[in-house]
Amino acid sequence: MSANPLETVNHFHTEYGFSPSQIFCQVTGKPIGDYSDNEFQSVLSLICESNDGADEAADDLALRIFGSMRPSLRWNKFRVETVAELRVSHPDETLAYLINRMFAPHNRLKGGVTPRHLEERIKAWKHIESWEQSDDTNTLMYMLLEIDAKMGLDVEQPPYNWQDFFNAESMKHRVEMLQGWYSQLMERWEKRIKAEEMQTKWMRHGNVLAKAAFRDVYMESQPLTQTAIKKAAKAADKQIFAEALYDVLGDIFDSNLEPKKEAPKPVVVPLKRVINPFARKA
């Protein structure tokens, strides 16, 4: 029995909370257009004929919507200046972009961005567009930009999930959640910078003649890693096998060796002095 189109749409609104006839930006989750009535009704009829119940048809429709999501014109081609420009002209979209990078970046997901992540981006936009521009939203923007610029939001994992962040009681609570994680990352960043500065000073200063010797002594004093131990064991095994093979076949190898012939020395022909008849006499 085919699903009913009207029941399917109603079930979709109840289950997903947004319009099934809209087109959404893949980067921000913002609605960027609508399907034509004829196209939407045609697809809806096809989906309902292929599914028995309204719940299955609604899920099928949702997968088609998520699969059709593409970056909007503002976000489909990144340049060095893109985020800096959009931060001024479209701060709400920029904040959505950074939050989505925090929760569902491509680099940290083995299977890539899933339909669930795309659904969360659409629902996140409904929260973000309702936030008024304030010191709290500016603070969120600042901390997210600094984390992304120094550490990379697509590398780090926040200690809270999507639901906890957006279901927080107020914007103040969201700022406090991000502030704790931000402080930990910045402390780690400062330690790394200090270590790199010390390494730079070590390279620029000191006695050049002693550095190579100290480096060798330092490496010799360090405990070997498991990889280094395995490599050393393999090298020792190869050496033992080579010595055993030479003990068995060494005489044969030695008898086949021919003495090296010295290459003939090149004959140096002295250059004759050529008298220029046109040279002026002193």
264 vs 184, more confident: 184
pLDDT value at residue 241 = 67
pLDDT value at residue 84 = 92
Residue 205, in any domain of the structure: no
pTM score > 0.85 for this model? no
Torsions phi, psi for 23 (to 5 deg):
-110, 135
Number of separate domains in the chain? 2
Stated as kind and residue range, the H or E segment containing 243 is: helix 226-256
Residue 153, in any domain of the structure: yes
Residue 51, in any domain of the structure: yes
Domain range for 183: 82-197
- List CB contacts of 51: < 8 A, sequence separation 6 or more: 2, 3, 57, 60
pLDDT value at residue 198 = 74
**Domain co-membership, 53 together with 128:** no
Of the chain, the end-to-end C-alpha distance in Å amounts to 120
pLDDT value at residue 47 = 94
**Domain co-membership, 124 together with 157:** yes
**Domain co-membership, 102 together with 161:** yes
pLDDT tier, 157 (very low <50, low <70, confident <90, very high otherwise) = confident
**Domain co-membership, 136 together with 192:** yes
Query: Final residue of a domain: which of 145, 174, 197?
Result: 197
pLDDT digits (tens, 9 = 90+) for 252-275: 555 554 555 565 666 555 545 545
**Domain co-membership, 180 together with 86:** yes
pLDDT value at residue 274 = 47
Query: Is pLDDT at 276 greater than 80 in this prediction?
Result: no
